[in-house]
Copies of this chain bind each other. A is one copy, B any other.
Amino acid sequence: MKIAAEAERRFLEQVFTSLHFTDKDAALLADTLVDADLRGISSHGINRLAWYVSMIKEGTIIPENHPELVRERPGSVLVDANQNMGQLAAAFAMGKLIAKAKQTGVAIAVVRNSNHFGTAGYYTRMALKAGLAGIALTNTRPLVVPTNATEAFLGSNAFAFGFPAKPHPFMFDGATAAVSGGKIQVKDKRGEPLPGQWVVDGQRQVVTDAKQAEEILAAAAFSEHQQGGGLLTLGGADEVNANYKGMGNSLVIELLTGILAQGSISADTNTGKHDFSQFLFAFDPAFFGDPAVLEADATAMLNRVRQLKAVPGKQVWVPGDREYRLLEENQRAGVEVDDKTYAQMEEIGAALKVEVPKEA
C-alpha cells in the first residue's frame, strides 16, 4: 500500500515526540526516514521504525541525550552521539563541517557512541544543499566475510558520496558489500532465489536460498554463535575476481569509523556493546573552480556515461538516477509501505496513541 509522504512525516514526528525526543530532533528523524522512503530506499525508511522503538525501549538508544562536541580544530570535529540516534549526531557533525569547510576548504568529523544513522546519503545531501560536496561512512554489525575467510567479521559499511550535477546531484550511496542485507529480505519476501554471488555459508559455498541466507546473516550480526558465512565483499566469491578490493574498501571504513572513534569495530557489535561510529567529510568545490563550470562539466560527463553504447535491451545509468526518479514519482504518488511494516505502525500508533496514516 501507499501512504502520502506528508502523512508519514506527521506520524513519525508524533511517534518520536511521544518517545521523548525534542520537537526538533523528532522533525529531523522523521525527515531522514521520509527522505529514504521517497527515494525508494525502503530498507532505511519507516520499515526501521519498530527496530528503533525496540532499541529505545531496551535502552540502546537514549532519546533524552544530545550529541556533544568533544573537541574541534579548524578542519576536524570529534562528536559524541551520547547513545542517541545516529541521525542526530551525524546531522549535528555535518552542520559543523559545513561551517568549517567554508572557512578552510575541507573538514572531517568522526562520530562516536552512535547508533544506526539511516542512509549515509542524507548527510552528503546536507553538504550539497550548502554548495559543498561530501562523503559519509558508517560501520555496521558484522555481516561480511573477507576474502578466503569462512566467518563474518567486517561490516557492510556504507559509503555515500555526493557531487553537484544537473538535473540532480551525482549520489552514490550503498553498502561496500556486494549487496545490503535489505536486498536479501526483499528476495525472501518475494520467494525468489538469490541471483548472484551475494552470500556464502560456513564452507564458503554460495547460498541461493534467501531464507537460509537471512539465517546466516542474523546469526553473524546478532549472536555470539556464528554458524559461519555471511555477505560477500564486492568482487564476489572468488579471489580471482579481486574480491580483496571489496575487502580493502570495507577495511578502510573500519579504520575511519570504529578505530578512529575508539569505539567498537563492526566485529564486536554482534552482542552486548553495539555502538556504531561514523566518518563525515565535506569540501568546497568552489576553491578549485567556478561552481557553475564544475557542475556543468560533471553533468556533461555523466550524460556521456548515460549515452554509452550498451548491450541490447539494457541502458547505462549513473548512481543516483534511480533514487531521484523515484523521489519525483513518490512525492506525487506516496511512499510504498509493506503489510508487515504497516502492522508495526498500527501497533506503535496504538501504544503511543498516535493516529496511523491511511492508504493514500
A310 touching B104, Cβ below 8 Å = no
- Of A53-61, A106-114, A210-218, A351-359, the one contacting chain B is A106-114
- Of A26-34, A195-203, A341-349, the one contacting chain B is A195-203
Write out the residue numbers on chain B whose beta carbons fall within 8 Å of the beta carbon of A238.
196
Residues 86-115 of A, flagged 1 when their CB comes within 8 A of B and 0 if not, give 000000000000000101111110100000
Chain A interface size range: 35 or more
A201 to chain B, nearest CB (A): 11
Nearest B residue to A148 via CB reads B314
A31 to chain B, nearest CB (A): 25
Nearest B residue to A247 via CB reads B319
Given A105-B108, A235-B234: A149 and B308 interface contact (C-beta under 8 Å): yes
A260 touching B240, Cβ below 8 Å = no
A71 to chain B, nearest CB (A): 8
* Cβ of A228 under 8 Å from chain B: yes
Given A149-B309, A255-B298: A304 and B74 interface contact (C-beta under 8 Å): no
Residue in A149, A245, A318, A319 with the greatest tally of chain B CB atoms within 10 Å: A245
A204–B288 Cα distance when bound, in Å, is: 37
- Of A2-10, A13-21, A261-269, A332-340, the one contacting chain B is A261-269
Write out the residue numbers on chain B whose beta carbons fall within 8 Å of the beta carbon of A76.
104-106, 283-284, 287-288
Given A255-B298, A294-B259: A315 and B241 interface contact (C-beta under 8 Å): no
Nearest B residue to A299 via CB reads B259
* Cβ of A275 under 8 Å from chain B: no
Given A103-B74, A234-B234, A251-B318: A146 and B178 interface contact (C-beta under 8 Å): no
A338 to chain B, nearest CB (A): 23
* Cβ of A244 under 8 Å from chain B: yes
Given A73-B104, A148-B314, A228-B309: A195 and B240 interface contact (C-beta under 8 Å): yes
B105 touching A153, Cβ below 8 Å = no
Nearest B residue to A104 via CB reads B75
A313 to chain B, nearest CB (A): 9
